[in-house]
Structure 1
């Protein structure tokens, strides 16, 4: 068998699961069941077919250097400076793998799907890998269970061996009447977005159907061979990529595409209604998560992240509570959550961008209070051995009070130690750094005062994490 590598596409925004999913921490990096993240679950189900050392994650640079830093740390990764849909991401990954001197089979998977029957999935995966070794572009087609208008469809008929079907055509998301016709006619499958192929074969098809994408990838390869790292060359050229999906750009036109029909308990977790469908339920059909009291409720998803949520007599609702936002929606309207996110963006709000608690490579900060009169109150946690960047701010000063642990503080030319129940002051414009040289977490309370308190008022001079 050929060398097999997994390419996990983890660059999505996950806006349909707001308010839990945010722009800086989208759903692939969330643990919807309170255990492993969707990304980690995707990687885990590949074992033993594909080892962790053969996993390559393609994600946005902002995720890798921000809230998802620790989730991505154990794996190889390529960082997109800007999102450009699936075709450029896949082309980049294929070129990167071939630049290592091999022509592996690539198993391309979204990072944020759920598969209940993992044994059956791996059996289908073995079949797909063998087909890909012979030059086929293989996709997994999901047996439809209802006339769903939220998925693209693929029509395919059985091939010679019965396990591999030959694709006739791809269809974009249909209206309800068309979806009902597809189910009645048969031989239509939901497009799962999961693919298997050789790196060289998909690159050849990209060259044929998307020559602009292929040309940019070749420029990246040329620069990486001339002395730059592959990632540095990506940063120089990736923004010029067109934004196009692999389905629309290549697969709908190629004559190499085959399909494996699957009934594997697949769910793309594309809405809160979908989360309700896959969640454990009580005798009344309720999925209750967190500190929830439900009295006389039926067929509802109620999730509490921060506070107690009590519901009485509600039916067919999704109620999602976070520290700074609450979503209440009829279950069959949760696809419209995107409209809420669009409205937040239009009004210049931040509740769709980040949570009140924000993870950083060095630890985390939590916004406790922000006042329009010009102050912000934060709780900051710095992990043992970690330190923030050497930085300054143009429009705010900062007051730090240590509540546990011991802080090493750089303030201008001075380096001081600040113990529990002691404080220090950072003037506007002063170069400063916070560091935890101890073995226990460092907790401080920070009070910011200034005319502008945005997170983008920062100039970094040194940073351990390449930001």
Structure 2
């Protein structure tokens, strides 16, 4: 699918963006050793506990604001597969221009199928070559609603890529997350990261800021994109067998169709399955219908209640 891991591809891609002063990573502390070995010269914000994307974005913005003052900051997930880096960079450059004017910008992807696993962004007035004011962020729809979104031609997939000016986003955190904003401003960084995350709300940046702010813009990403945080999307970039199965590892599979098998632990032996995801690791075996893949977060919540959240 490309040279290196997805996170390595992401870093290399961002190194091509003009006038980039620094690339840093924000991830979970359990990946410390792996990230240090992969990126020895890159600063890392290592979260003691995951609290979704709003605290991560706010902490990343606070780090950047303290170090550089008023500057453009981009947020890019590391599990996205992107082709056509030049077109990606063009979109980022347009987003930077809008961010400089005071917009909080998201790069949206034109939907190619009625996907129910992504949120959608509704576009309004055109304000640039490939950019629009964003009217509304819509939660993950059912299939019928997703089909309506596509036929209207006014919706993009919410790809979780954002560009903003640090002082503008800082004001949004102050306005929409006032209690957490106070904690951020009163804490030493990064020495008091544990304290910051202890007080952080568990909420996505979409819910916390994007759905409430009135200065949101969307730039259409015209490059090839897949979010490989979604298991079914692996089928878009990796080769399947003659029956449509994607087999990673040494799984023993017979008479199965359109299924995903990832073996990183005990041997998977499967017969007669259709449209199923089976993943084995040293600690856990996951089995879920392909159609329910987006509900893994619900399963994670159940495991968390039982004190087993580290398994997924």
TM-score w.r.t. length of structure 1:
0.58
1:354 deviation in Å? 5.7
Q: Is the 8 A contact 1:157 1:167 kept in 2?
A: yes
2:80 to 113, 121, 145: 113
1:95 is paired with a residue whose SS is: helix
- Correspondent of 1:322 among 281, 284, 287: 281
Work out the CA distance in 2 between the residues paired with 1:345 and 1:252. 27
Distance 2:239 2:19 in 1: 30
Q: Which residue of 1 aligns with 2:206?
A: 247
Does the C-alpha gap of structure 1 residues 333 and 256 become closer, same or farther in structure 2, counting only changes over 3 Å? closer
Aligned to 1:56: 24
- Say which of 21, 33, 36 aligns to 2:4: 36
Distance across 2 between alignment mates of 1:335 and 1:56 = 28
Structure with bigger strand share is: 1
Q: Aligned residue for 1:47? A: 15
Matched, 1:280 2:248: no
What is aligned with 2:165? Answer: 198
Number of the residue aligned with 1:269: 228
Q: Does 1:181 align with 2:140?
A: no
1:199-246 alpha-carbon deviations (Å, 9 max, x no partner): 1121122223332232222212xxx4xxxxx21133344422333332
Indicate conservation of the 8 Å contact 1:91/1:213, yes or no. Answer: no
Of residues 74, 82, 99 in structure 1, which corresponds to 2:66?
99
* 1:27-73 CA-partner distances (Å, limit 9, x unpaired): xxxxxx79733322322222311699711222233443x66553464
CA distance in 2, matches of 1:107, 1:125: 8
Superposition map of 1:376-391 within 5 A: none
TM-fit CA distance, 1:333: 3.3
> Would you say how many aligned residue pairs link Structure 1 and Structure 2?
312
What secondary structure, in the 3-state scheme, does the structure 1 residue paired with 2:24 have?
strand
Verify the 8 A CA contact 2:127 2:133 in the aligned structure 1: no
Deviates more, 1:246-255 or 1:197-206: 246-255
Distance 1:329 1:101 in 2: 45
Please identify the structure whose Cα radius of gyration is greater: 1
Q: Does 1:258 align with 2:217?
A: yes
SS at match of 1:36: coil
Q: Which runs of 5+ in 1 are unaligned?
A: 1-32, 225-229, 356-467
Provide the C-alpha distance between the structure 2 equivalents of 1:83 and 1:115, rounded to a whole number of angstroms: 25
Pair 1:128-2:87 in alignment: no
**TM superposition outliers: structure 1 runs of 4+ over 4 Å:** 50-53, 66-69, 292-297, 306-314, 336-348
For the 8 Å contact 2:2–2:9, the answer to whether it is kept is: no
Name the residue aligned to 2:50. 83
What secondary structure, in the 3-state scheme, does the structure 2 residue paired with 1:46 have?
Answer: helix
Change (3 A) 1:304 1:102: same
Q: Does 1:169 align with 2:104?
A: no
CA apart distance, 1:335: 3.6
Q: How far has the Cα of 1:106 moved from its partner?
A: 0.6
Structure 1 residue 177: deviation in Å? Answer: 3.2
In structure 2, relative to structure 1, the CA distance for the partners of 1:158 and 1:299 (3 Å cut) is same
SS at match of 2:46: strand
Given that residues 170 and 252 in structure 1 are in contact (C-alpha distance below 8 angstroms), is that contact kept between their aligned partners in structure 2? Answer: yes
User: Aligned equivalents of 1:94 and 1:336: distance in 2?
Assistant: 30
Measure the CA separation in 2 of the matches of 1:34 and 1:310.
Answer: 29
Higher RCO (CA < 8 A, seq sep 6+): 2
Is the contact between residue 136 and residue 257 of structure 1 (CA under 8 Å) also seen in structure 2? yes
Question: CA RMSD of the aligned region, Å?
Answer: 3.2
User: Which has a greater percent of helix?
Assistant: 2
Partners of 1:168 and 1:287 in 2: how far apart? 38
- Structure 1 residues 299 and 50 mapped into 2: Cα distance closer, same or farther (>3 Å)? farther
Taking a change above 3 Å as real, the CA distance of residues 311 and 354 of structure 1, as seen in their structure-2 partners, is closer
How big is each residue's C-alpha offset from its partner over 1:424-448, in whole Å with a ceiling of 9 and x where there is no partner?
xxxxxxxxxxxxxxxxxxxxxxxxx
Contact 2:25–2:43 under 8 Å retained in 1: yes
- Residue 353 of structure 1 corresponds to 310
